[in-house]
Amino acid sequence: MFTLRCTQKLLRRLKRPAKRETGSPTTILGDWYVNLLYTRPHQLVLCVNERSLLSVILMARDLDSLIPRFQRGVFELLMAIGIPSHAVQAEGREMKEVAFGKTASRSVLGSMKEITFALRLELDRSPLSSPLELSLFLSTVLMGGIGMRCPREVARELLRGGSRE
């Protein structure tokens, strides 16, 4: 179980109520923060993991299928950055139950602004990148919120150690 912590803008678009209190995540990576981005030529959904700052980019079309597309995006990204398949499958099993909540961490929201800036620069440089290519690019960006490390390094560490802190 984990929570998709959505911005107000996205919650309104999804027409989903956010729970006031959500349980602690049972996933190793924890909750994910989600925001809608207006970019050209497409609207995107930016999903950022609270513990590793790993980012999954999705197309904003068909928000009714956000959850399965997000889960598939996480699976593809984790495999692409070299997480062992048994760890990806274990995380996937824990991600089957999803709650919607409001954002709760100013630190993660601040990191999302940094990520959005890097994403816009990458889109200017390479506008035809796929969502997975954009996610892979963002996984290599040094982030202050995790001690000037790359999100892919932190995610690898968390998933290898099996820590749910």
Q: By C-alpha distance, which of 151, 139, 126, 124 is closest to 57?
A: 139
Query: Minimum mean pLDDT among 22-26, 42-46, 107-111, 154-158: which range?
Result: 22-26
Residue 41 domain-assigned? Answer: yes
Residue 116 belongs to domain spanning:
2-160
- Kindly state whether residue 149 falls inside one of the protein's structural domains: yes
Considering the domain boundaries, does residue 51 fall inside one? yes
Whole-number pLDDT of residue 109:
97
54 in a domain, yes or no? Answer: yes
Indicate if the pLDDT at residue 162 is higher than 60.
Answer: no
Given a cut of 90, is residue 43 above it in pLDDT? yes
> Using 50, 70 and 90 to split pLDDT, how confident is the model at 65?
very high
The CATH number of residue 47's host domain is 3.30.420
The model's pTM is 0.93
Number of structural domains in the chain: 1
User: Within a domain: residue 165?
Assistant: no
| In-domain check, residue 52 | yes
24 CB-contact burial (10 Å; exposed 0-12 / middle 13-18 / buried 19+): exposed
